[in-house]
Amino acid sequence: MRPGTLRRWLCRLAISTLSTLLFNPITARAADADNNWWKTAVIYEIYPRSFGDANGDGIGDINGITAHLDYLKDLGVDAIWITPFFPSPLVDFGYDISDYRAIDPQFGTMADFDRLMAEATKRNIRVIADMVLNHTSDQHPWFIESKSSRTNPKADWFLWRDGKANGQPPNNWISIFGHSAWQYVDTRNQFYYHAFYKEQPDLNWGNSDVRNAMYDVLRFWMQKGVAGFRLDAVTHLFEDPALRDEPTTSGTNKFGDPNHDTIYTDNLPQVHDVLRDLRKVTDEYPGRVLIGETYLNNANDLALMYGKNNDELQLPMDLQYGFVNSFDTAKTRQLLVDAETKINGNTPLFAFDNHDNPRSTERYDQKGHADAVARLIATMLLTPKDSALLYYGQEIGMTDHLPRRKEDVQDPIGKIGWPREKGRDAERTPMQWNADNQAGFSSTKKTWLPVGSDYKTVNVASENKDPNSLLNFYKKLIQLRKSNAQLREGEFVIVDPNNPSVLSFMRRTPDGKSVLVSCNLTANAQSLAIEELANKSGEVLISSSPLQIASGQFSLPPFGSVVAQLQ
Ligand code: TEU
Ligand code: CA
């Protein structure tokens, strides 16, 4: 063989293999399905301070997440969303970022992150980063430069305004975390705007340098392998340039400020220009997803977040269906039907729990049926046509643990608002892995938040052993969501629409096969005779208690739920 022949031959082989791969319709379809992984995903939210503490300083870290990947694999999650792990003064525990391209030393190193990526990828678990675009930390070099004078190169990167003549802030806008949203800085003799804490100055998204700098941050993390972003507080990117006062409404909030509208400070139309830009940036890399933190009032507003041409967010969160906060059957049904039918065929992303709100175990009155309610919520979350967000600990039934004294509070909202607003510590306590000291979360006694007092019984190890545990109920449901064709891709059809107590729907595939889901939203047993199912029997796939379905008739115990294949 002449020198170079082998190389040329190998090269030709590579090209032909590549072209078969690229132009083969079957591989093309597989690649497509793979890129759309998020449409049916179970995404698991990790609050990294509280998941696993690998180095024993009482604070969870990246290696602590890596150590528990097998657990997540076993649970069946497709992706983890990790709340911010970037360098931060930790005023808002990571939501105040001082460097967008590194790892906070409390959480580990970039090498730790790379190892997490590699280990997660091995298990086919994707990693989603939390991007805080609205604001930086006041310790970010951009802000330090911006506040140094009115003429520095970054002078216009944040929202600086003159105060009123008498030294008063520019207008009446208040921070979501209490009191005026304006903070005075004497080097500029001006105020800057902060939608959240004063240590979280809002970036000026009207400035194209700001936008481009942030788009490059997204590229940086996509090159590191992240599968997408959860966009923090993304509806807050723009404010009324004329700085009109918000109309006041009645009463005061938990911080004692007068209640305001948010027409000039939230969800301004310019947000959509940025969402379209962001989508273009993430579309540069295949298979990435944009999730939005979108607290909205109705399905029409939610529909807009996907973009008029489906060119904005793939998964803006629906934070309505899972936040009714009472078992109001009609309202819950309406919100579910709206999400399934009024967002132009897009995928809703449902959640019942996250790091900002009391856990659903607290928000929904269980009337003495805690276990049934937890299973009911699991069913309501995992059986509609949706993507589903789980919050760590939800799958084992973790509950809230409020700080007892003001001195114990970690979340600054709780420090500012005590006692009316106790902050978000209660839903952020360490993951309960087993019945050992500190619930297996950490080797040190002094964890950053105390471990929940119920950890001896509510923990992964003991629930793993019990085939009837909540954890195993979650596992079965997630498995079923993947293996059952109707639950995976069937259309959503509401049934028994006027039942005041039981929420029922079907998932139906074009071959006529269907799965029925029924959820009793009351504390009383309910007998059902579902007209649409007359003459049908059902094979129970999973239910919170043993039952049989014949001719569309069955009964559900208090807060009971059933998923059944119809025959
Ligand atoms: O939350 C934005 C937001 O609207 C929430 O702050 C919510 O209003 C509040 O937590 C209710 O108690 C995001 C993050 O999820 C949150 O943790 C951050 O504190 C906030 O942004 C600022 O970055
Ligand atoms: Ca640690």
Residue 421 lies in a domain: yes
pLDDT at 3: 47
**What Rg, from alpha-carbon coordinates, does the chain have?**
25
User: What CATH number did the domain enclosing 413 receive?
Assistant: 3.20.20.80
Residue 485 lies in a domain: no
Pocket test for ligand 1, best of 95, 197, 325 (most atoms within 8 A of CB): 95
Q: Do 41 and 124 fall into the same domain?
A: yes
Q: Do 8 and 109 fall into the same domain?
A: no
Residue 240 lies in a domain: yes
Q: Tell me the CA–centroid distance for residue 509 and ligand 1, in Å.
A: 39
The answer to whether 267 and 235 are in contact (CB under 8 A) is: yes
Q: Residue 106: which of 171, 164, 56 has the closest Cα?
A: 56
Ramachandran angles phi, psi of 301, nearest 5°: -65, -40
Q: Do 263 and 367 fall into the same domain?
A: no
Q: Tell me the CA–centroid distance for residue 439 and ligand 2, in Å.
A: 15
User: What CATH number did the domain enclosing 261 receive?
Assistant: 3.90.400.10
Residues 6+ apart with CB under 8 A from 67: 52, 54
Considering its fold, how many domains does the chain have in total?
4
Helix (H, G, I), strand (E, B) or coil at 152: coil
Q: Do 42 and 9 fall into the same domain?
A: no
- Tokens 């005075």 belong to 184
In this structure, which amino acid lies at residue 486?
Q
Q: Do 114 and 179 fall into the same domain?
A: no
User: What CATH number did the domain enclosing 529 receive?
Assistant: 2.60.40.1180
Q: Do 86 and 222 fall into the same domain?
A: yes
Residue 359 lies in a domain: yes
Q: Residue 109: which of 132, 87, 136 has the closest Cα?
A: 87
Q: Which residue, 459, 480, 501, sits at the end of a domain? A: 480
Residue 410 lies in a domain: yes
Q: Do 287 and 248 fall into the same domain?
A: no
Q: Do 21 and 155 fall into the same domain?
A: no
Q: Do 277 and 334 fall into the same domain?
A: yes
pLDDT tens sequence for the chain (567 residues): 454 555 655 555 555 555 555 556 677 778 887 999 999 999 999 999 999 999 999 999 999 999 999 999 999 999 999 999 999 999 999 999 999 999 999 999 999 999 999 999 999 999 999 999 999 999 999 999 999 999 999 999 999 999 999 999 999 999 999 999 999 999 999 999 999 999 999 999 999 999 999 999 999 999 999 999 999 999 999 999 999 999 999 999 988 999 999 999 999 999 999 999 999 999 999 999 999 999 999 999 999 999 999 999 999 999 999 999 999 999 999 999 999 999 999 999 999 999 999 999 999 999 999 999 999 999 999 999 999 999 999 999 999 999 989 999 999 889 888 998 999 999 999 999 999 999 999 999 999 999 999 999 999 999 999 999 999 999 999 999 999 999 999 999 999 999 999 999 999 999 999 999 999 999 999 999 988 888 888 899 999 888 888 888 999 999 999 999 998
- Determine the structural domain holding residue 548 and report its residue range: 490-566
In this structure, which residues have their CB less than 5 angstroms from ion ligand 2?
A: 53, 55, 57, 59, 61
Q: Do 124 and 158 fall into the same domain?
A: no
Residue 411 lies in a domain: yes
Ligand 1 pocket list (CB less than 6 A): 92, 95, 132, 176, 196, 232-233, 293, 295, 355-356, 424
Q: Do 502 and 403 fall into the same domain?
A: no
Taking the C-alpha atoms of residue 525 and residue 498, their distance in angstroms, rounded to an integer, is 17
| Angle at the Cα of 28 from the Cα atoms of 26 and 31, rounded to 5 degrees | 110
The catalytic residue positions are: 232, 284
Q: What is the pTM of this model?
A: 0.94
Q: Do 371 and 389 fall into the same domain?
A: yes
Helix (H, G, I), strand (E, B) or coil at 522: coil
Retrieve residue 247's tokens: 């109309």
Pocket test for ligand 1, best of 85, 88, 133, 232 (most atoms within 8 A of CB): 232
